Amino acid sequence: MKLDRITPLLAMAAMVSCGGPKSPQDVLTVNDRKIDKIIAQMTLEEKVEMLHSKTNMSSEGVPRLGIQDIKYADGPFGIREEGVPNGFQSAGWVTDSATYFPTGSALAATWSEELAHMYGKGMGKEARVRGKDVILGPAINIQRLPVGGRTYEYLSEDPFLAARLAANYVKGVQEEGTAACIKHFALNNQETNRGSVNVIADERVMREIYLKPFEAAVKEGGAWAVMPAYNKVNGYYCSENEHLLNEILRGEWGFKGITVSDWGGTHSTMGAALHGLDVQMTGDTYLGPALIDSVKTGAVPESVVDAKVKELLRLRFTVEAIPEDECNLATASQPESRKTAYEVASKSIVLLKNSNDFLPVSKEAKKIAVIGLNATLNTQSGGMGAGVKSVYEVTPLQGLQNRAPEGMEIVYAPAYRNFMGRYGRNARNAAKTIDEAVDPKLLEEALEAAKGAEAVFFFCGTNKSIETEGSDRTDIKLPVSQEEIIKEIYAVNKNIVSVIISGGPCDLQVVEKYSKALVQGWWNGLEGGNALADVLYGNIAPSGKLPFTFPVALEDSPAFALGNFPQKEEIQGDLFGNQYRQDIGGQRRANIRRSPDAHYSEGIFVGYRWFETKNVPVMYAFGHGLSYVFFEYGQPKANKDSYKMGETIKVSFDIRNTGSMEADEVAQLYVRWPESRIERPFKELKAFKRVTVAAGATSKVTLEIPVSELRHWDEALNTWALERGPVSLMLGGASDDIREIIDIEIR
């Protein structure tokens, strides 16, 4: 059967000409009449066949009617290599090498909607080359825990920054005709017991913090697919959570696309069928034969199945199926994507500290020592679902060698071994434990390399065995004796620049003391090494800003300070029974297990909202990032003195680059309610903009805040509400670098 397909762009254009689409979701519904007719021709068995996996990365179409399967591909940071049909092992292809883009926290450190959009386009395009319909990404949960195994995949601790980037990423992917499947919906903020943990959070906390990025990605980005997370929220698995999937996602946000459970995250037939899941991934235990039986016995109305099929067909007709013989003809990686990957990497690197302008390193330097194995690690693979088979990867050491000026000698010494974690313990020459003591031979070599160098680049940080899906870090300490090594290097050469190669924050208390400059280098995609070298050599100015706080110590961060993570231990069984057993000489200790409940009692005080409101000092604040130039902020002006709902606050000001090279600044606007009757954080980010300013030049910048963005979730009324009163608009280059404050009034 030939279907005259309406492409998303044509559909949008048609809707605009008849008065404009009401929501970006409407593009999915243009084929609804035709879809209803198709469903009327389908048998129950054909319909249910669509509602679970066909292979590990596909779900069935309707072969009898010529409707193609839906093909999924992992990768928030690059289209994952082809796996065998029924698992994740490599299929051994040659055309599936993709562009490895910087990981989530690196993208977020650019604070650039434009780059997030280009990044999404790159991903969307490469998915098409691979014949994939749905990208399982972006991953947009809030970074609640510094130790989170997927902190590096996620974007930010701040919902506004994460929301802006997520919406733009999704738009980029879908403009290329690929569906984005935002994940993991919702409150999947830890890997510890991720398959069973029950998150307890109140409605305000969910709405203002954890759901924000998803809301923007659906309502503004128009995401066509959503992946319910593994965990439970307030007692119900996310894949059968009526409140999340049916009431909020579909009901309030107007989502018209498909929901696809996380792999192995479906838990029942009735729960999933009745409470909002479309596709069981993987297997057919619940949304397969058991669902057919449930319909036949009348336990599940067939209309419920029809509604799911309708959502799947909407996606199928919005995303053009690529015939097998038209895809995978050439390598997936595209030149424009590689350029985007470089752009993102070069704008993500954060200069944390730069005593006496030690960086950039002089181009006249004769000898540079690069010390630390992390300078040579490939970071494309590992991390489970987030790995990429990259066309190439420029490591930091290679980047420094590639970009070294004539006459500069680069000497390298690894200094420590690679900690390989649970999957690579037997690897040759790997560190035995994460705390492995300093190896005297490696140290001697490193000290030799450091002697007489004009600068020592000390590469520390974690790796993808330490920060990975499936487990959280036990702490944020630097591994494999990196702290001891830097002290030893310092004894022979004090010109140390420490470069932290990690996705999440590390404890920098020791390293900071021994470093003239500190740089957060991330896992920065296939061009990461070149971008880093360009910053360290001063070819470009650093301009990344932290998307999360570096606490002084892990224990300072909110979930730890309140004892909310790790979950508390509970005694199982009957208390008296346990005692009695002991008395009669039985088991001395009662059964103890971790509580299955994760209480988010820190509430809306996540990340900098906690540190600022509770006056807890931090190592490096949210939004922090230095440059090689200085930016002066002019007096900001708001377009009015007072505002009401429906209006937009516009704040204009000048930024002057007083330095001698072109550089980017990210202007940040926070709001504070000095007289609020509601419990609020000290301040919250509400607008930002990245601007490029030539040496000595001044740029005019306007930041906008729709008044609706100032609403809070009113628990009593169970809806968004706008408080009236004075609001301070705080403008600066970081959350702890506020330069100007102006006051307005909300009427």
Q: Which residues are catalytic?
A: 262
Biggest CA–CA distance in the chain, Å, is: 83
What minimum distance in Å lies between the beta carbon of 385 and ligand BGC? 4
Applying CB under 6 A, does 545 fall inside the site for ligand BGC?
Answer: no
Applying CB under 6 A, does 191 fall inside the site for ligand BGC?
Answer: no
**Can you tell me the distance from the alpha carbon of 666 to that of 689, in angstroms, rounded to the nearest whole number?**
5
The answer to whether the CB of 394 falls within 8 A of the CB of 526 is yes
- What are residue 372's phi and psi, to 5 degrees? 120, 130
**Can you tell me the distance from the alpha carbon of 339 to that of 8, in angstroms, rounded to the nearest whole number?**
26
Applying CB under 6 A, does 214 fall inside the site for ligand BGC?
Answer: no
Applying CB under 6 A, does 183 fall inside the site for ligand BGC?
Answer: yes
136, 485, 511, 533: residue in contact with ligand BGC (rule CB under 6 A):
136
Applying CB under 6 A, does 353 fall inside the site for ligand BGC?
Answer: no
Tokens 């949960």 map to which residue? Answer: 141
**Which one, 213 or 385, has the nearer CB to ligand BGC?**
385
What minimum distance in Å lies between the beta carbon of 106 and ligand BGC? 18
Applying CB under 6 A, does 154 fall inside the site for ligand BGC?
Answer: no
Applying CB under 6 A, does 387 fall inside the site for ligand BGC?
Answer: no
Q: Beta strands 737-746 and 642-643: pairing type?
A: parallel
Q: Which of residues 56-85 bind ligand BGC (CB under 6 A)?
A: 74
What minimum distance in Å lies between the beta carbon of 672 and ligand BGC? 36
Q: Beta strands 698-706 and 258-259: pairing type?
A: unpaired
The answer to whether the CB of 455 falls within 8 A of the CB of 365 is yes
**Which one, 230 or 610, has the nearer CB to ligand BGC?**
230
**Which one, 126 or 469, has the nearer CB to ligand BGC?**
469
Applying CB under 6 A, does 472 fall inside the site for ligand BGC?
Answer: no
What minimum distance in Å lies between the beta carbon of 471 and ligand BGC? 12
Applying CB under 6 A, does 347 fall inside the site for ligand BGC?
Answer: no
Applying CB under 6 A, does 464 fall inside the site for ligand BGC?
Answer: no
What minimum distance in Å lies between the beta carbon of 226 and ligand BGC? 12
122, 385, 504, 542: residue in contact with ligand BGC (rule CB under 6 A):
385
DSSP 246: I
**Which one, 469 or 483, has the nearer CB to ligand BGC?**
469
What minimum distance in Å lies between the beta carbon of 254 and ligand BGC? 25
What minimum distance in Å lies between the beta carbon of 136 and ligand BGC? 4
Residue number of the CB closest to ligand BGC reads 385
3-state helix, strand, coil in the chain (%, to 5): 30, 20, 45
Instruction: Collect all residues with Cβ–Cβ distance below 8 Å to 405 and sequence separation of at least 6.
Output: 363, 537
**Which one, 254 or 470, has the nearer CB to ligand BGC?**
470
The answer to whether the CB of 104 falls within 8 A of the CB of 76 is yes
Applying CB under 6 A, does 262 fall inside the site for ligand BGC?
Answer: yes
**Which one, 166 or 408, has the nearer CB to ligand BGC?**
166
DSSP 332: S
77, 152, 214, 263: residue in contact with ligand BGC (rule CB under 6 A):
263
Tokens of 97: 């090498």
What minimum distance in Å lies between the beta carbon of 382 and ligand BGC? 14
Applying CB under 6 A, does 467 fall inside the site for ligand BGC?
Answer: no
Applying CB under 6 A, does 372 fall inside the site for ligand BGC?
Answer: no
Q: What is the 3-state secondary structure (H, E, C) of 361-399?
A: CCCCCCEEEEECHHHCCCCCCCCHHHCCCECCCCCHHHH
The answer to whether the CB of 663 falls within 8 A of the CB of 541 is yes
Tokens 């300078």 map to which residue? Answer: 375
Q: Binding residues for ligand BGC, how many (CB under 6 A)? A: 7
Applying CB under 6 A, does 152 fall inside the site for ligand BGC?
Answer: no
Give buried/exposed letters for 564-581 (b at 16+ CB in 10 A, else e): bbbbeeeeeeeeeebeeb
In the sheet where 663-672 sits, what is the strand order? 642-643, 737-746, 725-734, 663-672, 684-693
Q: What is the CA radius of gyration of the chain?
A: 26
Interface ranges with ligand BGC (CB under 6 A): 74, 136, 183, 262-263, 385, 469
